[in-house]
Amino acid sequence: MISLGAVAAALALLAAFVPAGAATGDLPQLGPHVSVGTLQAGGTYIVRPATGAPIAAVELWYRAPSTGFGPKPIPSLSRLAAQVVIASKPLIGSSLGRLVSDLGGRLSVNAYSDSIDIGAVVPAAHAREVVKAMTTAFFAPVISDDGFHAAQQDVAQEAVFESFDPAAVVRDAVFAQLFSSGPQHYPVLSDAKQVATITPADVRAFATRAFRSQNAIFVASGAIDPSLAAAAVGGRPAAAGLAVPEAPATPDVASSPHPVSASFPEPSGGYGWAGPPIAQEREATAMDFIADYLFREESGVVSEAVADKFPDALLIGQFITLHDPGVMFVAYAGKSVDQVKAQVDAGLEMMRKPLEPRTFAHALAAFRFHLLSDLQTPSEMADNFGWYSVEGSPEYAPGANGDKGSYAKAADSLTADFVASVAQKYLSVTPVTVTLTPGKKSS
């Protein structure tokens, strides 16, 4: 039996190793298995240990506009800046990219309009060294010439790949029309020519402001222990005049968006609607439900019908939960684009009326399963905490607090009538429409 004194001694010892600020009052409560605290030099950490496979996901999330903080928008800047930091070799040791590759892990950068995440999946035994290397690289960024040129080449190539992706082209066109200002108005990854115009000074200015510990949300999940956040380095002290952290973006929604017609090698199209903000949890969850029921790959009713009738077609539909507003986005492509569009329209029309009780019950059971299925890997779990944190509502993350969490409660509260009312409210207004046709000039 261990005495109370021994327990107290253990707790005292443990406390000495927990990063500063771990017990401050305004940190989100994400469940008994999730440690949340403040990093040494500011910023939040979220660590979700799990049993099972000896894998760890280590991620840094930042609120940062993809076009930079300056008055002149520079599309692709956030993506390039992150890749430069990853590729730049510090004075001591290898670059972050090299370290993860040498561990047989995977390193990714995902840039969004208003945020960016850098994620690594590595054997859990090496999680600490990756945390140290990632925070060393990003809390005090080094921008080397070699790193800049290598990253510029990589990002330019990615831009070329993306320019052939109909979903990405439609998304950029939808967002450009839906939002009249802010980073959402511009593509996250523009064309290769534009990437070539970005300078090291642009990257340095962006990295200095965006990649601060105080602006960071550090997330880790997998076969790790709660003290992993202690491996994060301190980084630069908070700079005067900079928000800690940056505020979530609230772009202006265009008052009268126009339909877009443009040229693209494959017939393609899509829609976009402004949806509820993240704070409207029940409505946002209803929009997720609608997207899941209609468009989930392989099981959505529209997706299945399209796959059955037009096997070459591409169809993507999702509700993108954002700070304010969220966006319902649909993209399709293929030879039979008009017929696919008709299927999409019919599906959306169906959602404006309540589903039959039996159909709704089945759809809700499927939705709950999909939520859980999408949280099964360490990186999926980390992504979910990171995304909802940068959008301003970590406690609404589907992985937070299990079946007692905000998201689970919102899902449980859905009714067929409420879902239909949300579809009526947000999806009955005229959407932004995009039509891409081979050989057609842009309008």
Partner 1 sequence: MSTLSIGARVAMLCAAALLGLTAAVPAQPQRFPTAVQTDLGGVSLISESDDDETVAGVQVFLAAGLDRQLPSESGIAALVADCITRTPVNGVAVRDAIAQSGGSLDFTVEGRSVHFYIESVPQMLPAQVELFAKALSAPDFSPQTIAAARSALTARINDLEGNALSVAVEMFRRSYFATSAGLPALGSTTAIAALSSKDLAAFYQANYRRSGLSASAAGDLTPGLADALKTLAAGLPEGVVTPVVPKAKPIPENAPRIVSNRDVAAPIVVVGYAAPPPGSADFGAMLVLESLLSNAFERSSATTLGIAERSVGAFYLYDSSPASLVVYVNGTRVDPSIALRELLVAAKSLSLKPLDAEALKHFKIVAEGQFLTGSLMVADRAYLLGTFAAQGLGSDAINAALAALDKTTAADVQRVAKTYLQRYIVALVLPRQNGGS
**What residues between 114 and 173 interact with partner 1 by CB under 8 A?**
121-128, 147, 150-151, 154, 157, 161
Q: Which residues are registered as beta bridge partners of 432? A: 272
Shortest CB 121 distance to partner 1, Å = 5
Strands (E) across 113-254 are located at 115-123, 216-222
Using CB under 8 A as the binding rule, whether residue 219 contacts partner 1 is answered as no
Show contacts with partner 1 in window 244-273 (CB under 8 A): none
Q: In 321-367, which ranges are E strands?
A: 326-333
Closer residue to partner 1, CB minimum distance, 252 or 412: 412
- Looking from the CA of 217 toward its CB, the CA atoms found within 13 Å total 29
CA atoms within 13 A on the CB side of 153: 6
CB-wise, 6 or 239, nearer to partner 1? 6
Residue 251, token pair as written in the block: 């772009």
Minimum distance between the CB of residue 14 and partner 1, rounded to whole angstroms?
5
Tell me whether residue 58 or residue 176 sits nearer to partner 1 (CB atom): 58
278-317: which residues touch partner 1 (CB under 8 A)? 299, 307-308, 311-312
CB of 299: closest distance to partner 1 in angstroms? Answer: 6
Return the ∠ at Cα 66 (arms to 61 and 71), rounded to 5°. Answer: 130
Say how many C-beta atoms besides its own lie within 10 A of residue 366's C-beta: 16
CB of 348 to partner 1, least distance (A): 21
Q: Which residue is listed with tokens 């008994």?
A: 32
Minimum distance of partner 1 from residue 176's CB (angstroms): 26
**Shortest separation between residue 159's beta carbon and partner 1, angstroms:** 13
**Within positions 368 to 407, which residues make up the interface with partner 1, using CB under 8 A?**
368-369, 372-373, 375-379
CA distance 207 to 77: 10
Which residues, 3 to 42, sit near partner 1 by CB under 8 A? 3, 5-7, 9-11, 13-14, 17
Contacting residue, 55, 169, 192, 351, with partner 1 by CB under 8 A: 55
With H, G, I as helix, E, B as strand and everything else as coil, classify residue 91.
coil
Considering the complex, state which of residue 171 and residue 370 has its C-beta at the smaller distance from partner 1: 370
- Least distance CB 443 / partner 1 (angstroms): 29
Question: Which residue has tokens 């960071």?
Answer: 216
Structure tokens at 48: 């979700």
- How far is residue 325's CA from residue 180's CA, in Å, rounded to a whole number? 13
Of 35, 76, 78, 83, the residue at the interface with partner 1 (CB under 8 A) is 83
Tokens 């999909």 — which residue?
370
- Binding to partner 1 (CB under 8 A) within 85-114 occurs at 86-87, 95, 97-98, 100-109
* 69 and 194 Cβ atoms separated by less than 8 Å: no
Distance (Å, rounded) from C-alpha 302 to C-alpha 351?
12
